[in-house]
Structure 1
Amino acid sequence: MRRMPGAVRVLACLLGLWLLAPFVAGLLRLGDADWSGVDRTALARAAGVSVASASLATLLIGLFGIPLGYVLARGRGWWTAWLGGVVQLPLALPPLAGGVLLLFLLGYGGPLGALGLSEHFAGIVAAEMFVASPFLIIAARSAFAAIDPALEDVAATLGHRPGTIFRRVSLPLAWRPILAGLVLAWLRAFGEFGATVMLAYHPYSLPVFTYVAFGEAGLPSMLPVLAPTLVLAALAMAVGHWLARPVARGAVPRTGPLPPLIDRAVAEAPPRHLMLALRRDLPGFTLDVRLDSRARRIAILGPSGSGKSMTLRAIAGLEERAGAQVRLDGRDLSPLPPEQRAVAYVPQGYALPPHLTVARQVRFAVDCVPDRAAAWMAALGLEDLAGRYPDALSPGQRQRVALARAFARRNVDLVLLDEPFSALDAPLRARLRREVLAVLRGMQVLTVLVTHDPAEALAMAEDVVLLDGGRVIRAGSAAAVFARPGSELAARLLGAEAIGDGVVRPDGRIDVGQGVALQVRHPDGERADLPPPGARVRWSARPYQIRPAEEGAYPARILWRGPIQDGQRPMRLLLGDAELEILADPSCMAEGACRVDIDPACLQVWPVA
C-alpha cells in the first residue's frame, strides 16, 4: 500500500468508525431482542415486496437511465445542462416531499390518477424509481463521459453505425461504473420509506413494515425486523462487488523482431485528386483550410494547436459542426457519414477499445476481410499476441494493431494517419515508416499524414501542407515546399535551424557576406526560382547538411566544438556573416579556418518579410 498522509488516514478512520458504530450498538443489544413477538409471515411478505419492487424498479431504471446517462454525457447545449439538473432534483428533496409530489401526479385527482397506482405494488415501484434513478443516471453519465471519444470516432470510420457503436464500444467500456450505479439504485430503492409511505402505504414494503412494527412493539422488536434488511443489503453489495472485480490481463510481452510487411517491390499506385474546403469557427480559433492536390500521399505539418488533427477529423466526417467540403476524384464525400466514407483512420493514441483482444481489434471493421486481417497480423508480428488486450501491449505493438485494423478493410479510399509513429522509439519508427510507405505505394488509396517531423513528411509524402493558426501558409510538392518555404515561419516548421541573411546576385547565387556566395539549385536539378537580383532573402540548411571538408566549396571558420553526442559533434561556425549551429563528424578539424560544402539542392530560400 502506498504511504498516505497521517491526517488523511485519521480523518478517514474517524468517519469509518462513525459509520460502523450503529451496527456495533445494535449487536450489543442482541440480548434485548424480542424474537418471539415478530409476525414472521408478515415480515417475509414485506421483505418479498421490497425485493420484488426494488428489482423491478432497478430494471426499469437501467432500461431508461443508461440511455439518459449517455445522452447527458454526449449532448451539448443548454438543454443538456437543464436536463442534468432535473435528474438530480430527487436527491435534493426530502423523501416525504418527493412522495407528496408523486401524489400530486399519481394520486386520486392527479393527472395520472386514473392509472390506480396509489396503494398498489406498482405505486411502490413508481416511488422507488423516482428516488433511486439519480444514482444510476449519474454513474452512467460519468462512465460514458470518461470514455475516450476517439474510440467511438474510429468505430464510426470502420463502418459501424451509432447504435452499433453504443452496443459494441460505449456500453462495454462503461459497464463497471454502470453496475455500481445499478447496485446503489437497488439499495436505495430497497430501503426507500418516505416516498413509498406517502404514495403506497399498502402493501407493506420492508421499510414501512419496520415503521409499523416499531410503533406497535417498540425498540425490542427492531432487531428481528432489521435482520433481513441487513442480510439482503449485504448480499446485494457482495454480488455487485463480485461482478465488478478486475480481470487479470497478463504481463506486457517483450517486443520480438518485426517481420517485413512486404516481400517484393510493388508498383506505385496512380495519383488521386483531393479537394478540400474546410471551415469551423470556435472561440478564439477558426479552421479555414482549402486544398487542391493531385498526389498519392499528403503530409500536414504545423505547430500544436494549428488545426492538423481537426483537419484530419473533418476529412473523416467526424467534425459535425465543420463546414466541410471533401471531394475525392470528383466524388463528393461531404454528405456522407463517417461509416460510409471508406476511411482507414489511425488517430493519436491508436484508439484501441480496451475490452477487445488484438484479434478482435484487427477484425473490428464492418467490411474486414478475414484473410487480409490474418495476413496483416502475420506481417506485423501480432499472431502471438492475438489473445492480448491493449493494456498488455507495448506502444509499438499497439501502433501495429491500429495499422493492421486500418489496412484489413475491404474497401478503403482514404488512409488518415494522425502522428502514427510518435510513440515509437527511433529504430522502430524508422523501420515501420519505411515498411508502411512501401505498402501504401501499392494501394489504390490517398494517404493524408499528420506529423510534427519534417523528415517524416519529406520521406513519406509527395505533397506537403503547412498549417498555422488554422490556415494554410504553404502547400505544394514536398520538394518545392522544402526548397522554397515562402516565410521564416514555414521554414522553421520544416526544421530549419541554421539561418542566415543574403542578397540575390545576378548570377543566381546568394551573397551571404565576407565574399561568400552560395550556389542554389532547385531539387529537380534546374536553376532555382529566386527573387530578382538585389532582393534580400533569408536562407537555411539543416545542421547536418553543412559539412566541413578540406576541399569544401566555401571558406568558413569554426568558432566552437562541443562534446560528442550520439555519434556527432555539435559545432558553431561562421559562414559569411552568419553564425550557424551544425552537426559534424566527431573527427572534424579543430577550431579556426576551414572549408565547408553545402549541397545546392538542400538550401532553403525565402524573401525577407
Structure 2
Amino acid sequence: MSGLRVENLRVELDGRTIIDDLSLQVDAGELLVVAGPSGSGKSTLLRTLAGLLPATHGRIELDGRDIGDLPPGQRDIAMMFQSDTLYPHLSVLENLCFGLRARGASRTDARMRAREIATRLGIAELLERPPHALSGGQRQRVALGRALLRQPRLFLMDEPLSSLDAPLRVRARAELMQLHRSLRSATLFVTHDQVEAMALADRLAIIEHGRLLQVGTPRDVYARPDSLAVARFLGAPAINLLDLARGAGHWHWRELALPLDAPAPRDRVILGLRPEHVYPHRSRWATRPHRSVTVAATVEAVEPVGDQQYLSVRVGDDRLTSRCEPDLSFQPGETLDMLLDLDSALLFHPASGRRLSP
C-alpha cells in the first residue's frame, strides 16, 4: 500500500510514555495534519517516524516496506523542523541545491529547480545571500523550499510556518498546498495552530498525551467531536459548555427546560454550543432553528475582529460567547436576549467526556 502506515506505535523516553499505542495512515498524495496542545507528543511522533528517536513498540511502513529499523538516511523522508537548519557557509541558492546535487542532479538542473521554487516562495531575490543575512521568516521559507525540492516519498513538517508573520503565513500556506498537490507525496504536518490545521488538512488527527483522539475531515472533526477534549481544542473562541440536569422528564439548564433528546448517564449531561450557534436576538445571522431557547443575558465584553465580532455575555454564573455580525452595537452591562440553537447542540458524558449526541 502506498503512503505511510503506523501501527500500535509506542515511544518511551526517560521512563515516560510519550506516544501511546498510536495507529494512523497517510495515503500517497494526502496531507494529514496532526494537531494538539503543546506537550501532546506531536514532535516526538515526527522524530520517531524520521528515525531520530527509537520506537519502543510498533511498526512503521512506507509504501508497504517496514522502515522502523532503517537509519534516517535510508527512509526516503524529508523532515522540516520548527527551526531552520540551513548550512551557514552556503548561500540561499546553494542551500536549496545541496540535496539535489547530493542525489546526483546536474548543477544546471539543480539551479533551475531551486530558482523555480524560490520564485514560488517569494525568496528569489535572496538567492545570493548567506543565511545570517536573512530574517527568521526568510530562513524558514528557504528551509521549506529545500524540503520540497527533495520530492521524497514522505514529508514530515514540524510547525514549519511558525516563525512567519501573518501575511507571509497565509501566502506560505497557499503555496504549500499548491506544491503538495503537484508533488503528490504523503505529508504529515504537525501544528498546535488550529486555524492552520483546519486550512491545510485533507484529514485532521487530534492527539493529546500521546494518544490519538480522533481522525477525520476538518469539518467533521469540528462539527462532530468525539470527546470534550477535541471539542475544547478546536474552535476560536472556544466552545460554550453548560451543565444540564435531568428532572421531570426534561433536561434543564438553570430554570429553562430544553427540548433535547439524549441518552441519560445518571442525571447530568454537558451541553456544547459553538459561538456561531449562539445569537443575539437581533442578529441577521441567526438560522432560526427548529429547536431553540431564549435566555436573558448581560453583556460583559465586545471583541471586534474585522468581518465579525465576539460577544461575551453572562447568564447567572455561566458565561457564553457569541459570534455575530460586526455592525451590531453592544455596551457592557446591557441586557439582551440570546437565542441558543439546540439543533446544533453537542452532548457529552460528564465523566468520560465522550460525545452522546449522534
How far is the alpha carbon of 1:349 from its aligned partner? 0.9
8 Å CA contact 1:308, 1:467 repeated in 2: yes
1:274 match: 5
Alpha-carbon separation, structure 1, partners of 2:56 and 2:312: 47
Aligned residue in 1 for 2:240:
498
5+ residue gaps, structure 2: 352-358
Q: Distance in 2 between matches of 1:444 and 1:436?
A: 12
Whether the aligned pair in 1 keeps the contact of 2:61 and 2:68 (CA below 8 Å) is yes
1:562 match: 301
1:438, 1:599 → 2: CA distance?
39
- Distance in 1, matches of 2:187 and 2:347, equals 28
Tell me if 1:458 matches 2:225: no
Instruction: After TM superposition, give the deviation of residue 479 of structure 1 in Å.
Output: 3.4
Go from structure 1 to structure 2 and tell me whether the alpha carbon gap of 1:475 and 1:537 turns closer, same or farther (over 3 Å shift): farther
In structure 2, relative to structure 1, the CA distance for the partners of 1:319 and 1:457 (3 Å cut) is same
In the TM superposition, what is the alpha-carbon distance from 1:412 to its structure 2 partner? 1.3
1:592 aligns with 2:331: no
What is the alpha-carbon distance in structure 1 between the residues aligned to residue 205 and residue 225 of structure 2? 11
User: Displacement of 1:500 after TM fit?
Assistant: 2.1
1:484 aligns with 2:224: yes
Tell me, in whole angstroms, the C-alpha distance in 2 between the residues paired with 1:587 and 1:340. 58
CA displacement, residues 89-138 of structure 1 (integer Å, 9 cap, x when unaligned): xxxxxxxxxxxxxxxxxxxxxxxxxxxxxxxxxxxxxxxxxxxxxxxxxx
Cross-structure match for 2:270: 538
Q: SS in structure 2 opposite 1:364?
A: helix
Name structure 1 gaps, 5 residues minimum.
1-269, 519-529
Residue in structure 1 matched with residue 87 of structure 2 by the alignment: 353
Residues 344-363 of structure 1: per-residue CA shift (max 9 Å, x gap): 21111122232222111111
2:181 is aligned with 1:406: no
Partners of 1:343 and 1:415 within 8 A in 2: yes
- Distance verdict in 2 for CA 1:364–1:278, change over 3 Å: farther
- Aligned residue runs from structure 1 range 390-405, under 5 A: 390-405=131-146
User: 1:548 is matched by which residue type in structure 2?
Assistant: P
C-alpha distance in 1 between matches for 2:335 and 2:225: 33
1:312 Cα deviation after fit: 0.5
Q: Which aligned pairs between 1:512-523 and structure 2 lie closer than 5 A? A: 514-517=256-259
Q: TM-score, normalised by structure 2?
A: 0.76
> C-alpha deviations, 1:39-73, integer Å up to 9, x for none?
xxxxxxxxxxxxxxxxxxxxxxxxxxxxxxxxxxx
* SS across alignment from 2:167: helix
Among candidates 60, 81, 85, match of residue 326 of structure 1: 60
Report sequence identity in percent.
35
Q: CA deviation at 1:405?
A: 0.3
8 A Cα contact 1:275 1:293, kept in partner: yes
Structure of larger gyration radius: 1
| Counterpart position of 2:348 | 606
Distance 1:483 1:566, change over 3 A: closer
Matched, 1:292 2:24: yes
Partner secondary structure for residue 423 of structure 1: coil
Per-residue CA deviations over 1:181-201 (Å, capped at 9, x if unaligned) read xxxxxxxxxxxxxxxxxxxxx
Residue 307 of structure 1: aligned partner: 41
- Check 1:397–1:511 CA distance in 2 against 1; reply closer, same or farther (3 A cut): farther
SS in 2 for 1:562: strand
RMSD: 3.4
In 1, Cα distance between equivalents of 2:251 and 2:316: 11
Q: Which of 185, 188, 192 is residue 445 of structure 1 equivalent to?
A: 185
1:598 Cα offset (Å):
5.2
TM-score, normalised to structure 1, is 0.47
TM-superposed deviation, 1:429: 1.5
**Separation in 1 of the partners of 2:130 and 2:343?**
51
Distance in structure 1 (CA, Å) of the matches to 2:342 and 2:170: 24
Which residue matches 2:215? 475
CA distance in 2, matches of 1:346, 1:360: 17
Matched to 1:571, the amino acid is L
| 2:2 and 2:63 in contact (8 A); partners too | no
AA of the residue aligned to 1:592: T
2:301 corresponds to 1:582 = no
Task: Measure, in 1, the Cα distance between the counterparts of 2:217 and 2:32.
Answer: 9
1:320 offset after TM fit, Å?
3.7
Asked if residue 425 in structure 1 is aligned to residue 165 in structure 2, the reply is yes
Q: Which stretch shows the higher mean deviation, 561-570 or 477-486?
A: 561-570
Q: 1:398 to 1:606 in 2, by over 3 A?
A: farther
Per-residue deviation, residues 506-562 of structure 1 (Å, max 9, x unmatched) = xxx9875624547xxxxxxxxxxx963678543434445644352633424341143
Are the structure 2 counterparts of residues 426 and 498 from structure 1 closer, same or farther at C-alpha, using a change threshold of 3 Å?
Answer: farther
**Which structure carries more strand by proportion?**
2
Return closer, same or farther for 1:465/1:564 CA change in 2, 3 Å cut-off. closer
Alpha-carbon separation, structure 2, partners of 1:310 and 1:375: 32
Separation of aligned partners in 1, 2:317 and 2:224: 22
Opposite residue 281 of structure 1, the aligned amino acid is E
Contact 1:285 1:470 in 2 (8 A): no
Distance 1:354 1:477, change over 3 A: same
Q: Which residue in 1 is equivalent to 2:354? A: none
